[in-house]
Structure 1
Amino acid sequence: MKFTIFAPILLAASTNSFVAPSTPATRTNNAALSPLFMGRAAAVRAATKGKTDAKKAKTNALYGKKIIMCVKQGGPDPDGNRALAELIKAAKANSVPVDNINRAIKKASEASVGDFAERTFEAYGMGGASMVINVLTDNDNRANADVRSAVGKNKGKMAEQGSVLFMYDRKGRITVPAEVDEEALLEAAIEADVEDFELSCEDVEDGKLSTILVEPADTNNTFEAVQSMGFTEDVKMELAYVTKAPVEVTDEEFEANMKIIDALEELDDVDSVEHNMSN
């Protein structure tokens, strides 16, 4: 059993100050400024909520497509389609509404619904960064053109198949919006027959975020082990490509590479983008 605990990195911090009014003039000035400050705060909250809502909508759409693909391949009954049963569990773990899941299962039987297929593209960014672009699409030509355009317009470079993937491992990834105790996780993992995992924890804007990496076959068992520890809210699980060779890039290179990733993640056909940047 191995553990990797990374040092926390504080992503954002802010301080607020309050000056008590001492004269009518001071109270008047503060009152005049309050709407401005309140407006800025509201704008920040609205922007954050907008990004969160967009990400949630894309997650729901992604699992809808995955369910349609799975049903077309193995049928609509989770009892007879094990892959569908596991996918439904993953969808629920990622907060996809049950109504969305049921609609996708029903939609898969409609003749007008196309077949979805998974594709993987590889690309290079700045400063030695590499990217693995996971796609789920019903139109290969569109997905190929859109991915290449997003990479090229943002000064990235498409890579030959296999030239990037060999630097990544396929892993199961469970994320928990809290700090997970390593000893407690060890006990739960043993109970769940999980032989090996890596645990990391970092500071994020809203608190702590723990990430657990396991072999793909152990993903479901690890997810259930985490739930048995009392973590049931917003715990997510997925399969991901995890770099074996992180690279350090400058702040400028990081920002440039994130522009590529942001452009890719805006595409409807793109499921996720993995990268090897260490900062």
Structure 2
Amino acid sequence: MAGHSKFKNIMHRKGAQDKKRSSLFSKLSREITVAAKMGTPDPDMNPRLRAAVNAAKAQSMPKDNIQRAIDKALGGDTDNYEEVRYEGFGPGGVSLIIEALTDNRNRTATNVRTAVTKNGGNMGASGSVSHGFDRMGLITYPPGAGDAERVFEAALEAGAEDVTSTDEGHEIWTAQDGLHEVAKALEPVLGEAEGAKLAWRPQTMVDVSEDDAGQLMKLIDTLDDDDDVQTVWGNYEVSDAVMEKLG
């Protein structure tokens, strides 16, 4: 994933969608089930569940799969997943925050540590990386939501703090506690968002060389292949030219 702008820090690489769709649906289902279990099963009354359902729809997840994930929480037929966060460093000295939903902390910690150390990185203690990020709300829209000016004006009116628009879409940043209010205010103007979630926004970016970029992408892909890992955030910037060489 090329760093098209210095705020492009969603590092959840999906790679070839056909090959990873099953894994992606598994992650989305887990988030939907956890969100439904932690709150009401009604997306209109549960902001986290609504965001999870919207994210699933954006990835063309079948409605039956979405409903099954909600029903799993209602029936109590679900493992007790907990949210865990790991911090570390990747090739080129980039900072990484790895978020997971797991029913076995030992398994997940071992898998994450192995992936990081085998791909040129090293784990850090809690707080060793997150101090260089801001915890914020992130709302994403596809390019078809409107041009940059229209989206910026709508976001400003809704109370957002910043907007980044590229050919790939729009990122609308909000205060941590204002995420769902802003998302709700944007819907009548821009429609349903592709995603709305709490995010880690880096305070500074790190330019990654061609030598380090290949190993960094391999590390991120390895983490993304782990069913427990939900999202990987980083402060790296990789040029389009380097990404083209990497294929």
Q: TM-score range by the shorter chain?
A: 0.7 to 0.9
In the other structure, the counterpart of 2:171 is 211
What CA deviation, in whole Å up to 9, does each residue of 1:73-98 have, x standing for no partner? Answer: 33535566564455444544554332
Residue 174 to residue 190, structure 1, CA distance change in 2 (3 Å): closer
In the other structure, the counterpart of 2:32 is 67
Whether the 8 Å contact between 1:90 and 1:238 is mirrored in structure 2 is no
What CA deviation, in whole Å up to 9, does each residue of 1:128-147 have, x standing for no partner? Answer: 21111111111111111111
**2-side partners of 1:71 and 1:177: how far apart?**
26
1:121-160 to 2 correspondence within 5 Å?
121-160=86-125
How big is the alpha-carbon RMSD for the aligned residues of Structure 1 and Structure 2?
A: 3.1
> What's the CA shift for 1:111?
5.2
In the other structure, the counterpart of 1:240 is 199
In structure 2, runs of 5+ residues without a counterpart are 7-13, 239-247
Alignment pair present for 1:177 and 2:139: no
> What's the CA shift for 1:259?
1.4
**1-side partners of 2:60 and 2:114: how far apart?**
31
Alignment pair present for 1:265 and 2:201: no
Q: Which has the higher contact order (CA 8 A, sep 6+)?
A: 2
Secondary structure class of the residue paired with 1:108: helix
Secondary structure class of the residue paired with 1:127: helix
Whether the 8 Å contact between 2:92 and 2:212 is mirrored in structure 1 is yes
In the other structure, the counterpart of 1:189 is 155
Whether the 8 Å contact between 2:37 and 2:74 is mirrored in structure 1 is yes
1:1-279 to 2 correspondence within 5 Å?
6=5, 51-78=16-43, 81=46, 83-110=48-75, 112-178=77-143, 180-191=146-157, 193-202=158-167, 208-223=168-183, 227-229=187-189, 235-279=194-238
Residue 251 to residue 163, structure 1, CA distance change in 2 (3 Å): same
> What's the CA shift for 1:263?
0.9
Residue 256 to residue 209, structure 1, CA distance change in 2 (3 Å): same
> What's the CA shift for 1:104?
1.2
Whether the 8 Å contact between 1:94 and 1:237 is mirrored in structure 2 is no
Q: Identity over the aligned pairs, expressed in percent?
A: 35
> What's the CA shift for 1:240?
2.0
**2-side partners of 1:57 and 1:77: how far apart?**
25
In the other structure, the counterpart of 2:243 is none
Residue 161 to residue 190, structure 1, CA distance change in 2 (3 Å): closer
In structure 1, runs of 5+ residues without a counterpart are 8-48, 203-207
Residue 82 to residue 262, structure 1, CA distance change in 2 (3 Å): closer
Residue 158 to residue 265, structure 1, CA distance change in 2 (3 Å): same
> What's the CA shift for 1:60?
2.6
Whether the 8 Å contact between 1:94 and 1:236 is mirrored in structure 2 is no
TM-score, normalised by the number of residues in structure 2: 0.76
Residue 93 to residue 224, structure 1, CA distance change in 2 (3 Å): farther
> What's the CA shift for 1:119?
0.7
> What's the CA shift for 1:267?
0.6
Residue 251 to residue 78, structure 1, CA distance change in 2 (3 Å): closer
